[in-house]
């Protein structure tokens, strides 16, 4: 018997759905505080030396953190090709805006301190702000649009056709619910960045970070609650009808999909998934309390738990859907009919089993080496400091 046949196809599909979630959560937990720190930079740091301190808290680690983003994009491409084709083409302009903002970050890090000119440095500081705030906002906007359904359809030969216009491909994404989820994403990552700065800095910077992080945390919690109510009463969800074939061919048009009364119907069918929003609220609330009181490491850890809960809430609420269609529900992509082949998923899983522990060990070692606060003396006295 061929080895990959020992692992059922339906199990591999679920495993890769989980792994995709792990990669996205890993990206939000690590690069999320980089983006949050960038969004806070012009506000928590008033002087040039303070801004250099803030930049040096993330400068040595942001490239490694962004690996999770690259791995997530690669996993979508290899494990869920239809998802990659529809989302990266339908959200093309939004993706371009994210990449343009992310490009500002390395350029800002490298060039900001090359000149003593105040206007030069201030301009790059605002570029770093955009490099953090814009992706954090647009990622949340994208999630809001996915929950509402994306205007695409599949032809009989499975060619995806996105029906949106130029307006729909970018400006149309900025609808009220999507803007709400964007605000939740932005405020949640700002709180995460504030928790990071409270851990890595001291004095006025840490005090301001705690204050801004507290405000952002309140917005994130309120926005998350409002988004849940909107999901319950604002628009319909999706559900699979009839017999669901979990190990059949990857052809979304084989599935029977209908609109449901609400996405929250999933909680009636699978009550255990309620643990995800509970973790989201609990993590963000505890992070908020730690930011207001004492607790540096714990504030960051609670913030990570909140991120885990919020992102898991979206994935578990939608399961098994990964990209519903608003104009042709039958074209909606699900875990059971939008994956790569059995062999492809198996080979990729072997690669993950080999390389993921190495990535985690290397990441842990880097953070161990760089553990400790960044002070003004560190920035001014270290001749090797590039930021």
Instruction: Render pLDDT for 320-360 as a digit per residue (tens, 0 to 9).
Output: 999 999 888 888 999 998 899 999 999 999 999 998 899 88
Tell me the average pLDDT of the chain.
Answer: 89
- Secondary structure string (H, E, C) spanning the chain: CCHHHHCCHHHHHHHHHHHHHHHHHHHHHHHHHHHHHHHHHHHHCCCHHHHHHHHHHHCCCHHHHCHHHHHHHHHHHHHCHHHHHHHHHHCHHHHHHHHHHHHHHHHHHHHHHHCCCHHHHHHHHHHHHHHHHHHHHHHHHHHHHHHHCECEEECCCCCEEECCCHHHHCHHHCCHHHHHHHHHHHHHHHHHHHHHHHHHCCHHHHHHHHHHHHHHHHHHHHHHHHHHHHHHHCCCEEEEECCCCCCCCCCHHHCEEEEECCHHHHHHHCHHHHHHHHHHHHHHHHHHHHHHCCCCHHHHHHHHHHHHHHHHHHHHHHCCEEECECCCHHHCEECCCCCCCHHHHHHHHHHHHHHHHHHHHHHHHHHHHCCCCCCHHHHHHCCCCCC
More confident residue, 368 or 163: 368
Asked if residue 121 is part of any domain, the answer here is: yes
CA 50 from centroid of its chain's CA atoms: 28
Over residues 229-240, the mean pLDDT reads 88
Instruction: Render pLDDT for 271-308 as a digit per residue (tens, 0 to 9).
Output: 999 999 999 999 999 999 999 877 778 899 999 999 99
The domain in which residue 235 lies consists of: 3-376
Asked if residue 22 is part of any domain, the answer here is: yes
For residue 173, pLDDT over 90 is answered with no
Residue 322 CB coordination number (10 Å):
22
Over residues 185-198, the mean pLDDT reads 96
Lowest mean pLDDT among 165-174, 195-204, 295-304: 165-174
For a pLDDT cut of 70, what percent of the chain falls above it? 96
Instruction: Render pLDDT for 246-272 as a digit per residue (tens, 0 to 9).
Output: 888 888 877 788 887 888 888 988 999
For residue 87, pLDDT over 90 is answered with no
Spatial contact of 283 and 303, defined as CB atoms under 8 Å apart:
yes
What is the rounded distance in angstroms from the CA atom of residue 287 to the CA atom of residue 307?
11
Global pTM reads 0.93
Note the pLDDT of residue 322: 94
Asked if residue 386 is part of any domain, the answer here is: no
Pairing between β-strand 160-162 and β-strand 152-154 as defined by DSSP bridges:
antiparallel
Over residues 60-67, the mean pLDDT reads 85
Instruction: Render pLDDT for 7-49 as a digit per residue (tens, 0 to 9).
Output: 888 999 999 999 999 999 999 999 999 999 999 999 999 998 9
Instruction: Render pLDDT for 206-218 as a digit per residue (tens, 0 to 9).
Output: 999 999 999 999 9
What is the rounded distance in angstroms from the CA atom of residue 29 to the CA atom of residue 224?
17
Lowest mean pLDDT among 14-18, 92-96, 281-285, 383-387: 383-387
For a pLDDT cut of 90, what percent of the chain falls above it? 52
Over residues 70-85, the mean pLDDT reads 89
More confident residue, 88 or 30: 30
Note the pLDDT of residue 296: 79
Note the pLDDT of residue 130: 94
Asked if residue 298 is part of any domain, the answer here is: yes
Asked if residue 384 is part of any domain, the answer here is: no
Report the domain count for the chain.
1
End-to-end CA separation in angstroms for the chain = 57
Asked if residue 385 is part of any domain, the answer here is: no
Name the pLDDT band for 244 (thresholds 50, 70, 90).
confident
What is the rounded distance in angstroms from the CA atom of residue 315 to the CA atom of residue 336?
15
Note the pLDDT of residue 115: 85
Note the pLDDT of residue 385: 59
Note the pLDDT of residue 257: 84
Note the pLDDT of residue 167: 59
Asked if residue 387 is part of any domain, the answer here is: no
Asked if residue 105 is part of any domain, the answer here is: yes
């Amino acid at each position: 018997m061929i080895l990959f046949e020992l692992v059922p196809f339906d199990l591999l599909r679920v495993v890769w759905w989980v792994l995709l979630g792990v990669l996205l959560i890993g990206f939000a937990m690590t690069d999320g505080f980089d983006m949050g720190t960038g969004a806070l930079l012009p506000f928590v740091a008033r002087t040039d030396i303070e801004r250099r301190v803030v930049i040096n808290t993330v400068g040595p680690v942001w490239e490694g953190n962004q690996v999770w983003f690259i791995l997530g994009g690669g996993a979508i491409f290899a494990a869920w090709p239809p998802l990659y084709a529809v989302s990266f083409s339908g959200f093309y302009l939004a993706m371009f805006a994210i990449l343009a903002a992310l490009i500002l970050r390395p350029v800002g890090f490298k060039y900001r301190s090359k000149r003593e000119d105040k206007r030069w440095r201030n301009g790059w500081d605002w570029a770093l702000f955009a490099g953090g705030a814009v992706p954090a906002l647009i990622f949340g906007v994208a999630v809001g649009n996915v929950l509402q359904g994306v205007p695409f359809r599949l032809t009989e030969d499975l060619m995806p056709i996105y029906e949106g216009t130029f307006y729909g491909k970018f400006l149309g994404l900025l609808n009220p619910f999507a803007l709400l989820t964007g605000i939740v994403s932005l405020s949640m990552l700002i709180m995460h960045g504030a928790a990071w700065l409270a851990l890595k800095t001291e004095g006025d910077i840490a005090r301001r970070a705690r204050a801004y992080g507290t405000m952002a945390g309140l917005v994130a919690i309120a926005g998350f609650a409002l988004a849940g109510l909107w999901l319950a009463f604002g628009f319909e969800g999706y559900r699979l009808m009839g017999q669901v074939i979990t190990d059949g061919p990857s052809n979304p048009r084989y599935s029977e999909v209908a609109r449901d009364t609400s996405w929250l119907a999933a909680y009636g069918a699978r009550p255990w998934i309620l643990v995800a929003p509970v973790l989201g609220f609990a993590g963000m609330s505890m992070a908020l309390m730690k930011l207001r009181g004492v607790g540096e490491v714990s504030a960051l850890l609670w913030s990570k738990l909140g991120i885990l809960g919020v992102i898991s809430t979206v994935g578990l609420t939608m399961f098994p859907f990964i990209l519903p269609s608003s104009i042709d529900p039958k074209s909606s992509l699900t875990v059971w009919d939008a994956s790569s082949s059995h062999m492809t998923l198996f080979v990729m899983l072997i690669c993950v089993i080999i390389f993921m522990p190495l990535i985690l060990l290397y990441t842990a070692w880097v953070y161990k080496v760089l553990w400790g606060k960044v002070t003004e003396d560190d920035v001014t006295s270290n001749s090797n400091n590039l930021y």
